[in-house]
């Protein structure tokens, strides 16, 4: 296990998996730089981490905005001198059948789940290249491997995250490591973004068995803790009781 403390920027750190990841990585001794739109949550989280002896800072971030994402990564580099890893975690999941034609929700998913990840890569890749290395941990989903009704667009965004991660890995082998972490059902606020009544109802059953967000944070911490010559490429984490 590599023990070196790293500087890790985490997007979508105001709740769920991102929040648990911030706590876990800080407890492991990493310096975390946290982004999301709900800064009141980030402020409380940073205080909590600092109170526990960790090092954390935050900046408001909207990953749909390329310039804002660049400013976020640059702020992390200014705060801590470098950026060793970026956890591209921000995402949303407003599920609905295609025939409901919720085109604005399709656009939002594409903007946050796909463009957001690309913006994170565009912001950090030049910096990582200049400093001689770096690590992207991109959060996909079991929906990156299989499609189900009401989840066509969400799964499409996660298939895209998987494709982008694999392309980045192949193109930057040597100095940039890329890990795709794909959670199954995990406790978080993700299902709150579902506005379609039927999809929302169906999710209550589907999401009845869920992992704690700390289980995904653990997988991320594992990938980041590997020695420089080891690149953990894909991790899928499901509840043991889950068939899908």
Q: Footprint of ligand NAP on this chain (CB under 6 A)?
A: 11-18, 36-38, 61-64, 89-93, 112, 139, 141, 183, 185-186, 188-190
Report the chain's C-alpha Rg in angstroms: 17
Taking the CB of residue 208, how many other CB atoms lie within 10 A of it?
10
| Nearer to ligand NAP among residue 131 and residue 148 (C-beta) | 148
C-alpha to C-alpha distance for 210 and 186, rounded to whole angstroms = 5
CA-closest candidate to residue 183, choices 146, 118, 128, 139:
139
User: In DSSP terms, which residues pair with 56 in a beta bridge?
Assistant: 32
Catalytic residue among 80, 145, 154, 222: 154
Helix (H, G, I), strand (E, B) or coil at 179: strand
Q: Which is nearer to ligand NAP, 40 or 99 (CB)?
A: 40
Tokens of 60: 């408001």
Q: Do 234 and 179 form a contact (C-beta atoms < 8 A)?
A: yes
| Cβ atoms < 10 Å from Cβ of 238 | 17
- Beta carbon nearer to ligand NAP, 81 or 149: 149
Alpha-carbon distance 11 to 168, whole Å?
19
Instruction: Name the minimum Å distance from CB 132 to ligand NAP.
Output: 28
Instruction: Please state whether 115 falls in left (phi above 0), alpha (psi between -120 and 50) or beta.
Output: alpha
- Complex with ligand NAP: residue 16 or 54, whichever CB lies closer: 16
Residue 154 annotated as catalytic: yes
Least distance from ligand NAP to the Cβ atom of residue 81, Å: 24
8: left (phi over 0), alpha (psi -120 to 50) or beta: beta
Closest distance to ligand NAP from the beta carbon of 89 (Å): 5
CB of 19 to ligand NAP, least distance (A): 7
Nearer to ligand NAP, 39 or 226 (CB): 39
Q: How far apart are the first and last CA of the chain?
A: 32
- Which positions are catalytic? 154
């Amino acid at each position: 296990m590599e023990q070196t403390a790293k500087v890790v920027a985490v997007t979508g750190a105001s709740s769920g998996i991102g929040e648990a990841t911030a706590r876990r990585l800080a407890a492991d001794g990493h310096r975390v730089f946290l982004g999301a739109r709900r800064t009141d949550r980030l402020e409380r989280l940073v205080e909590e981490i600092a109170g526990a002896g960790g090092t954390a800072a935050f900046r408001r971030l909207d990953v749909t905005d390329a310039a804002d994402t660049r400013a976020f990564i640059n702020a992390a580099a200014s705060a801590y001198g470098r950026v060793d890893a970026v956890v591209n975690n921000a995402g949303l999941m407003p599920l609905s059948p295609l025939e409901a034609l919720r085109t604005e929700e399709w656009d939002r998913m594409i903007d946050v789940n796909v463009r957001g990840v690309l913006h994170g890569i565009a912001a950090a890749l030049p910096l990582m290249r200049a400093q001689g290395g770096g690590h992207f941990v991109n959060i996909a989903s079991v929906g990156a491997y299989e499609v189900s009704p009401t989840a066509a667009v969400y799964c499409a965004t996660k298939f895209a995250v998987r494709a982008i991660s694999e392309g980045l890995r192949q193109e930057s082998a040597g100095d940039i490591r890329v890990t795709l972490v794909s959670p199954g059902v995990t406790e978080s606020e993700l299902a709150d973004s579902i506005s379609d009544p039927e999809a929302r109802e169906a999710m209550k059953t589907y999401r009845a068995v869920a992992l704690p967000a700390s289980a995904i944070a653990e997988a991320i911490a594992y990938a980041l803790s590997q020695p420089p010559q080891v690149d953990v490429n894909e991790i899928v984490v499901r509840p043991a009781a889950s068939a899908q």
